[in-house]
A and B are shown apart, each in its own frame.
Chain A
Amino acid sequence: MERKLGSAKRRKLVSDILLNGALTILCLLWALPTVGLFVSSFRTREDIFASGWWKVLPHRAYVTVETLDIPTGVTRDQVVEIAGVSGTFDEFRLGKTNSEGQQIIWVGNLRAGRIEIQEREWTTRSNFTLSNYEQVLAGKEYSYQRPDGSTQTVQGDNLTGAFLNSVAVAVPATIIPILIAAFAAYGFAWMNFTGRKFLFIMVVALLVVPLQIALVPILRDYQALKLNGTFLAVWLAHTGFGLPLATYLLYNYISGLPRDTLESAFIDGASHFTIFTRLILPLSVPALASFAIFQFLWVWNDYLVALIFIGEVREQEVLTMRLASIVGSRGADWHLLTAGAFISMLLPLIVFFGLQRYFVRGLLAGSVK
């Protein structure tokens, strides 16, 4: 009996290790991309270009311990001896190893250059900097050496304006649909009027309609109304596209609130408006919060709607648009891209980790979309 228990325990331990091991590997895989971006955003431009971000971890690499002058008057095919090894220029260019395990490498060309003697050591490349963020947020200039030796100075990028635009778009585009949806949900749940059922079926039907369908007609309306490129235009568009889900979610919640509370308020002579603002809204905070997070992340991360309704108006450009255009125009400037991407993720990540509980609840309730 005891032995049986012991083997069951051992089996449990093994399966626990396997289970947690598999989970750890998956988590590492999932976290690695973001970690790489985060680490890179603090590395200097030169470091990013010279080595992968994982080189900030301790690793073994050749480190120069001594520098020698190149032998003079050597021809390309001539065999020379340096630090105990012999070889031609081309061989030394690629690096030759001597008996002590040192690597001898010829840096530069045949006439002008130097010899470096390197040893394999544990090392890290960990000189971190905040200058990427200064360059991408405040448009600070940076300079670098071109391959031909000349120095190039380039203006960074100004994401501060785009960040503020994103705030100005995302906050109202989150609150307005919630407010409108909450009024509607209350109306559907607690008021009687003709067409109530028909209108709510319309809400359900519109849940899955792709927003692409609306872009063309709405853009035409905006052109006629001269609304293009204004904040109002984007808010209304996000409101329209977010409203079916918002109304549906809030209806489910508000219609489930205890009937007694409302009826006693009615008997006390409270109007619908008072009941809604004083009673229903405070009671619905969990549902409002879940949808708010949902909508905020959606609007903040949106690219398509902003691209179409803000379009060419540079002053109103939001973060995703600015970032996408940096990707297009200077896709090799990884120090700007990584820092910029991280700035764009900052607010959503704070909201996400701060209010994860509500977000999950919203997802669970609204997974029909």
Chain B
Amino acid sequence: MQNTSRASTPERILTLLTSTIGQVLISVLVPLLTFVVLWRGFLFLRDSNAPKSIIALVAIIWGVGGVGLLYLIANWIVEQLPDKWTARLQPFVFVGPAVAILIWYLALPAFRTFWISLWNRNGTAFVFLQNYLDVFRDRGMLESFRNNLLWMIVGTTFSVGFGLLIAVLADRSKFERIAKSIIFMPMAISFVGAGIIWKFIYENRPPGEAQIGLLNAVVTALGGQPQAWVSLVQPWNNLFLIVIVVWLQTGFAMVLFSAALKGIPAELLEASRVDGANEFQVFFRIMVPYIQGTIITVTTTIVIFTLKIFDVVMVMTGAQYGTEVIATQFYRQYFSNRNFGYGSAIAIILLIAVIPVMIYNLREFREKEAF
């Protein structure tokens, strides 16, 4: 009875069709048919020589439609079962796929990578922690750690600093929206795109020729010598790469700070100004303490982000000229040198570096949630 009232028209037809035998038959046939259709689609996408635009269209329909279809079928099967079983199994239809993917793609790989890291370069001999010892003895790796530290400290400080400054300025300006859009816009640009933009700014021509890079044009106009900023000016070239990430991430920091600043009660600011506090005092004694939580969040987010930095370095210098970082070392060791054990050890070190943040997140979650 309950079934008919909640079923829509196609479902009602299906219910009519399903006598005991038919029910079993359909429950087998429908999923089978779905899988056949999806498999054909997969083969088409992999092997077809159709025009690119058609392949793209089919890919989108197949991918999105396929996932939707799988949920529909799985749910339909579960709803055919007796009510008690439906109630028991339905949560797993909803949550199961997400959990399975998370375990396959993130949870399990952490342990698998750790296991691989205990073996030698091609997994033929168990070396225990030897790879980790090597990592901390390798001069190139130590240089990468130094560079990453530079990225984390300089990159984060400037992104947070500029973000806060612009948020405070914009908050009191009439042009708030347009100013925020301009600062925020680089967030939409890929690292590869940003790399090209900044390579063009750092472009270097021999002295005497017209400088087409903005930085060298400014430097020569002021009477200086043009420099190869990202390659030869070591170790300062790292800073010229960090500028790019500051350019990209300040918008992110600004948006969060701006929202937090708007949460400060106006009376509080008003009262302190009436009491004779100047703007600097208002900023450091009232605003900063008030948005402390946001400052911590933004800082950790950017620290993690700079810890994993990869694309910018790859595009700008190909990780040469002393600009190697942990993520590029990982890529080079694993994919160029085929040193699987060593590469995995580097990935594990990245994971260990974020564990404090993970613990912080979990603690926050536990305090906040009456889950």
Contacts and interface: CB of A to CB of B under 8 A. Distances in A.
Interface of A: 19-20, 22-23, 26-27, 30-34, 36-37, 40, 48-54, 160-161, 164-165, 167-168, 171-172, 175-176, 179-181, 183-184, 186-188, 191-193, 196-197, 199-218, 221, 230-232, 235-237, 239-241, 243-244, 247, 269-274, 276, 297, 300-304, 308, 320, 323-324, 327-328, 331, 334, 337-338, 340-341, 344-345, 348-349, 351-353, 356, 360, 363-364, 367-369
A327 B315 contact: yes
Contact of A327 (B105, B195, B335): B195
Given A201-B365, A320-B192, A323-B193, A213 B110 contact: yes
Given A191-B95, A348-B189, A363-B252, 10 more contacts: A160-B52, A213-B113, A216-B113, A218-B109, A231-B63, A303-B311, A303-B314, A304-B331, A323-B196, A368-B361
Most chain A CB within a 10 A radius of its CB, from B92, B102, B304: B102
Contact of B91 (A33, A187, A338): A187
B183 interface: yes
Nearest to B297: A367
A40 B200 contact: yes
A306 to B, nearest CB: 10
Contacts of A230: 42, 45-46
B130 interface: no
Contact of B64 (A40, A176, A200, A304): A176
Given A176-B63, A327-B195, A344-B190, A191 B105 contact: no
Given A204-B361, A214-B109, A193 B67 contact: no
Contacts of B195: 324, 327
30 contacts: A22-B169, A30-B183, A37-B196, A37-B200, A48-B212, A52-B211, A167-B56, A168-B59, A176-B64, A179-B67, A179-B68, A188-B95, A201-B362, A206-B106, A213-B106, A214-B105, A214-B106, A230-B42, A231-B45, A231-B59, A239-B105, A243-B98, A301-B193, A303-B315, A304-B327, A304-B331, A323-B192, A341-B192, A364-B255, A367-B301
B19 interface: no
A356 B172 CA distance: 21
Nearest to B105: A240
Contacts of B256: 363-364, 367
A216 B362 contact: no
**What 6 A-B pairs are tightest by C-beta distance, nearest first?**
A240-B105, A172-B63, A301-B190, A187-B94, A184-B98, A187-B95
A165 B42 contact: no
A181 B186 CA distance: 28
B214 interface: yes
Contacts of B124: none
B222 interface: no
A363 B351 CA distance: 23
Contact of B6 (A202, A231, A236, A269): A269
Contacts of B172: 19
B53 interface: yes
A191 B29 CA distance: 29
B151 interface: no
A351 B188 contact: yes
Contact of B315 (A31, A208, A324, A349): A324
Contacts of B348: 213
Contact count band on B:
35 or more
Contact of A33 (B52, B95, B197, B371): B197
Given A184-B94, A240-B102, A367-B301, A212 B255 contact: no
Most chain B CB within a 10 A radius of its CB, from A247, A274, A341: A341
A324 B105 contact: no
Contacts of A218: 104-105, 109
B199 interface: yes
Nearest to B183: A30
Contacts of B334: 215-216
B344 A216 contact: yes
Contacts of A205: 358, 361-362
A208 B308 CA distance: 11
B26 interface: no
Contacts of B232: none
A320 to B, nearest CB: 4
B336 interface: no
B241 interface: no
